[in-house]
A = this chain, B = another copy of it.
Amino acid sequence: MKRTDRVGAIIKILTQNPSRVFSLGYFAEKFGAAKSSISEDIAAARKMMAAMELGVIETTAGATGGVKYMPHISDGDVDALLSELCSKLEDPGRILAGGFLYTSDIMFDSSLAKRTGEVFARKFRDKKANYVVTVETKGIPVALMTADMLNLPLVVIRRESKISEGSTLSINYFSGSSDRVQKMSIAKRAVSPGTRAIIIDDFMRAGGSAKGISDMMREFDVEIVGTGVVIASREPEKKKVDDYYALVYLGKVDEIRKKIEVFPNKSAF
């Protein structure tokens, strides 16, 4: 195997497994090469990834040391993603009765979810979180991709307690988005006390869901160290949670003139 071959294979394996540590021995065995050669391959891979702004390859020394890939979405790619989200959301064909917007095609698009997950991973990578938490359903793809980038388990809170979840803790809360009391339910075995979690969701209106998740997590002695949503509505300006990060803000939805106001969050980083 030539250097080019090994560097390419290392990049493929590392980027497919973000935030996971691989030992030099793993690659040495896989490629039948000396650890010193692998070390040089990794240096070449790191230089290339950094130059192209394709993410950071980090090496750690010592017995438990190794190499891992930290995803990095460049400022330019964040801008491009925000523009793409805004132009998709501005499509007047999305307007439903009552001024609601159809967003399922956006939230279930794996490519958008992956890039949005990269943005959240960049935002929250230093928060030392133990889980990514979301509440079903439309936030699951972006929460899954965020969890993947950070190499964390995903915990999905259900609307109804299911027999297949074992013992659960449930709460009722007021949801501004649906204008009614909603229920959420979490499997007791899904989280451990004394841990830290990031909340990821598709949409925030008044912040009732995020507040509900946060209250629920407090019952388990789990601290919320970050909250990210794809879309936040501008109104109400005062949310039930203080600190959250949204990729885009939704303004007025004019059913008569068929106009949707969407604003990218330029203060992203």
Looking at A96, A145, A178, the one whose CB has the most chain B CB atoms below 10 A away is: A96
Contact B158 A54 (CB under 8 A): no
| Nearest Cβ on chain B to A110's Cβ, whole angstroms | 4
Number of copies: 2
A248 → chain B closest CB, angstroms: 17
**Given A51-B5, A54-B9: A137 and B163 interface contact (C-beta under 8 Å):** no
Complex: how many Å from CA A140 to CA B104?
Answer: 13
Query: Which candidate, A10-18, A208-216, A234-242, is the interface stretch facing chain B?
Result: A10-18
For A3, what are the chain B residues with a Cβ–Cβ distance below 8 Å? 4
Main secondary structure of the interface of A (DSSP, over half): helix
Q: Is A113 an interface residue (CB 8 A)?
A: yes
Kindly report which residue of chain B lies nearest to residue A31, judged by CB atoms.
B52
Interface range for A: 35 or more
Q: Are B108 and A154 in contact, CB atoms less than 8 angstroms apart? A: yes
B12 touches A163 (CB 8 A): no
Interface flag for A172 (CB, 8 Å):
no
Q: A105-B153, A163-B178, A166-B102 are contacts. A9–B158 as well, Cβ < 8 Å?
A: no
Say yes or no: A15 contacts B17, CB within 8 Å: no
Query: Is A198 positioned at the interface, with any CB of B under 8 Å from its CB?
Result: no
Q: Is the CB of B8 within 8 A of A110?
A: no
**Which parts of A153-211 form the interface with B (CB within 8 Å)?**
153-156, 158, 163-166, 178, 187, 189-190
Name A residues whose Cβ lies closer than 8 Å to a Cβ of B: 1, 3-5, 7-9, 11-13, 15-17, 44-45, 47-49, 51-52, 54-55, 96-98, 100-105, 108-111, 113-114, 136-137, 140-141, 144-145, 147-148, 153-156, 158, 163-166, 178, 187, 189-190
